[in-house]
Structure 1
Amino acid sequence: MTPTQDVWDDTQRLWDYQLMGHEVRPCSVAIGLGSHDLGVADATVDLYRRGMMPLMVFTGATSPTTRDRMPRGEAVHYRERALELGVPAAAVLVEPRARNTGENIRFSRSLLEENGVDVSSALIVSKPYEERRAYATARKLWPAVEFVSTSAPMTLEEYADAIGDARLVIDMLVGSLQRLLIYPEQGFMISQEVPQEVTAAYERLCAQGFTSRLVPDTARGE
């Protein structure tokens, strides 16, 4: 589909809000959150090359979106990508079980503790439209650590072109915003202020049917 200008403007509002704008700095570790997007692995490797951390964790099992594309699991495919790009095997840990953002954080924390890694700060690397969600979840589940949320530097247009499905991207942005609205009350993430213009854009997109990634009332948290 080709979005109308009004739809694209509302999508841009959600995209801009999701970007945290954190200044990247050296941290104890980077945690790359598994997904359909190998760009997360590439962004994590770029941070490693820049000396931002000595160790990375890739976390993620599979989902309906990634089962065919990454049959060995998201974290495993991310690791393979990192090794292809020249990262030494000793600098990569794999957490292959997580199926949602909360598990990404909890299982990565356990893995690092099992390996005796002292973590005071962490780079959370995600897709651009999930920076804020990843940060809010990590802060809730691992409050002792200072988190820096980051992603590959891309515009909304560049990301939609890379995915090749504008409607899917819009649906994903709508779903991510919904979680920021409902998950704090369920204890899955910290609460963050959502500007009125962002909420209004979200509601307009929902009304126009961009709802395939919304969480049903009975769904469990991610």
Structure 2
Amino acid sequence: MPHAGESDAAKFSAPWPEVRELGRLVWDHLVFVMPMAPSQVILAMGCHDPRVAVQAARLWHEGWAPLVVVSGGRGKVTEGWAETEARVFARVVREHGVPGDAVLLEETAANTGENITATRALLAARGVPVERGILVAKPYMTRRSLATAARQWPGVDWRTSAPEVSYETYLEGDARRFLELMVGDLQRMAVYAERGFQVPMPVPEAAWAAHEELARLGYDRYVIT
């Protein structure tokens, strides 16, 4: 795998083992998976990783909720997709055995907050009450998804779930984009809490310092300026 730094030595000059360990510190904070409990809805948070939809289907088959909502229009990574994230995810969950009448599509959301607010409006319009829900996201989006849902849809007992994909497995893909996304997500946890978009969640000093160092090293494509 070509490591970050190999094609742009001027910008990505840190040794790969150092970058890898910095990313691990960020990952360890962002991943927050909770025990499951019977719920009214499984909300698959749209993104570029269809394994999220596979996990949502698995939870449905295990009986944790009778309804799967797949939410997502196009976001910063999927803006060039021919279909919305919701349509891609809907196809995946159906291919994994979830019947069509157990799946709802929400195709407008362009970010995490809109995944929550648009799904809330969709279910309210259909008269579906939600006392407990399951947020299914990429592992490194679980904590931020929970913080967002707690602000944008309070009064619901939210649980988080994610596909069992390791840090090392993500690094074997597009490592640079993966690290850039995590840096952006951790920064957003602070910025969006200040703006009232999600509830504050303390960030360990080591994780925050690692995110800052990665940004300094050039992994800053998704950092809010």
Q: Which residue of 2 aligns with 1:131?
A: 142
Q: Which residue of 2 aligns with 1:119?
A: 130
Among candidates 104, 112, 128, match of residue 93 of structure 1: 104
Task: Tell me whether 1:171 sits opposite 2:183 in the alignment.
Answer: no
Give the length in aligned residue pairs.
Answer: 213
What amino acid maps onto 2:50 in structure 1? L
Task: Tell me whether 1:160 sits opposite 2:171 in the alignment.
Answer: yes
**1: CA distance between counterparts of 2:133 and 2:60?**
12
Q: Which residue of 1 aligns with 2:33?
A: 21
Question: Is this contact kept in 2: 1:35–1:66, CA < 8 A?
Answer: yes
Question: Is this contact kept in 2: 1:141–1:189, CA < 8 A?
Answer: yes
Q: Which residue of 1 aligns with 2:212?
A: 203
Question: Is this contact kept in 2: 1:34–1:78, CA < 8 A?
Answer: yes
**2: CA distance between counterparts of 1:55 and 1:61?**
19
Give TM-score, length-normalised by structure 2: 0.91
Shift of 1:21: 3.2
Q: Structure 1 residues 173 and 64 mapped into 2: Cα distance closer, same or farther (>3 Å)?
A: closer
Q: Structure 1 residues 154 and 64 mapped into 2: Cα distance closer, same or farther (>3 Å)?
A: closer
Q: Cα RMSD over matched residues?
A: 1.2
Q: Which residue of 1 aligns with 2:66?
A: 54
Q: C-alpha deviations, 1:190-209, integer Å up to 9, x for none?
A: 00010111111111111111
Question: Is this contact kept in 2: 1:127–1:152, CA < 8 A?
Answer: yes
Task: Kindly report structure 1 stretches of 4+ aligned residues shifted beyond 4 Å.
Answer: none
Q: Which residue of 2 aligns with 1:213?
A: 222
**2: CA distance between counterparts of 1:19 and 1:165?**
19
Matched residue of 1:124: which SS? strand
What amino acid maps onto 1:139 in structure 2? A
Q: C-alpha deviations, 1:157-214, integer Å up to 9, x for none?
A: 11232xx210111001100000011111101100001011111111111111110011
Structure 2, gaps ≥5 residues long: 5-15
What amino acid maps onto 1:66 in structure 2? T
Q: Which residue of 2 aligns with 1:110?
A: 121
**1: CA distance between counterparts of 2:120 and 2:171?**
32
Q: C-alpha deviations, 1:3-55, integer Å up to 9, x for none?
A: 51111111011111111131122211111111111111001001111111100
What amino acid maps onto 2:128 in structure 1? V
Shift of 1:64: 4.7
Shift of 1:109: 0.4
Q: Which residue of 2 aligns with 1:43?
A: 55
Question: Is this contact kept in 2: 1:62–1:71, CA < 8 A?
Answer: no
The sequence identity of aligned pairs, in percent, is 35
**1: CA distance between counterparts of 2:76 and 2:193?**
26
Structure 1, gaps ≥5 residues long: 217-222
